[in-house]
Structure 1
Amino acid sequence: MGQVIDADGVELWVERRGQGPDVLLISGLGDPAEAWQPQLDGLADRYRLTAFDNRGAGRTPLPEGPLSLARMAGDASALLRALQVPAAHIAGFSGGSFIAQELALRHPGVVRSLVLMSTMARPDPYFRSMTRYWHWMVEHAPDERAMLEAFFLWIYTPRAHADGMVDRFVEEALAFEHPQSVENFQRQLAAFTDHDALDRLGRITAPALVLAGELDLATPPRLGRVVADSIPDAEFEVLPGEAHQPFQEVPDVFNARVDAFWREVESRG
């Protein structure tokens, strides 16, 4: 059962599960904490996992004023303080990986390690064109179902479209009681599109694992490689046959990989 946590004045909806070393899961564009359900279920026997709704997603409101990655990284840091967690393994997906980068740069003391899934250091022209289309699409799609079906073309593998997984995700999203508004989607999207940490990533000192899906259209492996090359001693791995969201499509593969990484970090003390 989730709960609302006051994180320096922002009421974040939080889901917690399990026992063990602390892990903070940071979602991407529009995703509520439930996006991490395969990890909350699959890793709770080894870790104490915390997932939350970012500003403007799920049950967390989006306050008036500018929205930035720095503010969202501040939310993550404040949440850990409110939960009395001195430091955690941080896993961020897509836009959540951009927040995780800012968290490691601005609040390094709370970061035990970094897993950056479907990430980049700076938007390229393709990404900017894609997100300009998304900004238009969410407002002008005929209905929410049409918007999700179009959006998920960039997110999931052809396999997931063929075997019914995407249809199930669409139905789950339509049934979710706290859908993201058009305005909040666009404001989050603008903040993520403004991400630029390329010239600062060399300052990250936490152990880092960068994962990319071989078939990812939104953040292809070449963008993840730049991130890994920029963070000292970061590991980089491409997941064959996977797209933008493998932690949902092949959770057993994703969970095993991050578990091995966190175990290695823990073994170093």
Structure 2
Amino acid sequence: MKVSVYYEVIGEGAKAILVSPGLTQTCANWRTLCRQNPQYTWVVYDPRGQGKSPLGEQPYQLDDHVEDLLGVLDQTGIKKPLLAGFSHGGRVSIRAVTTYPHLFDRLLLVSTATHVSPWRKATLRSWYECLVLGGVEGLAWCSLPTIVGPKILNKFEDPEFLVKGTVHRNNREGLLAMFEGLKNYPNALDDLPNISLPTLFLRGEQDQLVTFEDERNIARFVAKAEWASHSDCGHTVSLEDSEWFLGQIQRFFPA
């Protein structure tokens, strides 16, 4: 069931970019990047149960996230944006463009997994158990070394600042519902061959979650795919080196 999620519109460019954020992310994670690049019109939202967005009825599935995204698209009135999905938001974006390709110009996947390996499954389970046992703060500390890349961690002598931000923007109930939904997601590999839009896949080579195997799957199964990787970045490549990230966007989707 669709819920009315919180969103922000930043910039006044002729071309629009709709950002689908990742697990525990909200508009706050993207606001600075968007404000620094007003040559685009950026639309960013808080996924259901995160930040200022309501949780809605439970249980919910992948297609419910897609409906939320479409609701933002409808409310803003933007036409044919670049759909940019980060991490979990990338999985939502894959589903969106395979179901409603006519609504988007092209697809950008950032740090997005294309399959669930035993290692990934164990990682997600460990995060879930940390959330159950230690709340949002427990999850934030548990996932910090994996999600937050080295370039960001190196800027903070005390990573507690990053943990406090995650705790402030999220709640236990919303994230538990997200993890419960993840258990029943269809395999992304089944959707990849159905992507008809031009697609750019970006990742950091120090990312433990998204690897060369995911890049290879994109190259193999997505007909109109391009890909690039950053040797010095991890999972949060879009924030660790925003100049490189924006350069990739400008090349793929000129303002």
Q: Does the alignment reach a TM-score above 0.5?
A: yes
The structural deviation recorded for 1:170 is: 2.6
CA distance in 1, matches of 2:34, 2:145: 26
1:183-210 CA distance string (max 9 Å, x none): 3212213434524131232221111000
Equivalent residues in 2 for 1:56-205, closer than 5 Å: 56-141=49-134, 144-164=136-156, 166-174=159-167, 176=168, 179-193=169-183, 194-205=185-196
CA distance in 2, matches of 1:234, 1:59: 34
The structural deviation recorded for 1:159 is: 4.1
Residue 15 in 1 paired to residue 8 in 2?
yes
| Shift in alpha-carbon separation, 1:40–1:215, aligned structure 2, 3 A | same
CA distance in 1, matches of 2:138, 2:176: 17
Contact 2:10–2:41, Cα closer than 8 Å, also in 1: yes
Residue 210 in 1 paired to residue 204 in 2?
no
CA distance in 1, matches of 2:67, 2:121: 25
1:6-44 CA distance string (max 9 Å, x none): xx9622111111112111001011211111123212221
CA distance in 2, matches of 1:84, 1:136: 40
1:155-183 CA distance string (max 9 Å, x none): 12334333317444234334x3xx32223
1:71-103 CA distance string (max 9 Å, x none): 111211122122222321110000000000011
Partner residue in 1 for 2:28: 34
Contact 2:27–2:46, Cα closer than 8 Å, also in 1: yes
Instruction: Tell me the TM-score normalised to structure 1 length.
Output: 0.86
CA distance in 2, matches of 1:210, 1:238: 8
RMSD: 2.0
The structural deviation recorded for 1:146 is: 4.7
The structural deviation recorded for 1:129 is: 0.6
CA distance in 2, matches of 1:217, 1:153: 9
Which aligned runs of 4 or more in structure 1 are off by greater than 6 angstroms? none
Residue 248 in 1 paired to residue 231 in 2?
no
The structural deviation recorded for 1:221 is: 2.9
Instruction: Tell me the secondary structure at the aligned position of residue 200 of structure 1.
Output: helix
1:204-245 CA distance string (max 9 Å, x none): 111100011101112223223313421112001111111101
Q: Can you give the 5+ residue segments of structure 1 that lack an aligned partner in the other structure?
A: 1-7
Instruction: Tell me the TM-score normalised to structure 2 length.
Output: 0.91
Contact 2:4–2:68, Cα closer than 8 Å, also in 1: no
What amino acid is the match of 1:249?
Answer: E
CA distance in 2, matches of 1:219, 1:187: 23
CA distance in 1, matches of 2:182, 2:207: 17
Aligned pair count? 252
What amino acid is the match of 2:172?
Answer: V
| Shift in alpha-carbon separation, 1:160–1:22, aligned structure 2, 3 A | closer
The structural deviation recorded for 1:104 is: 0.3
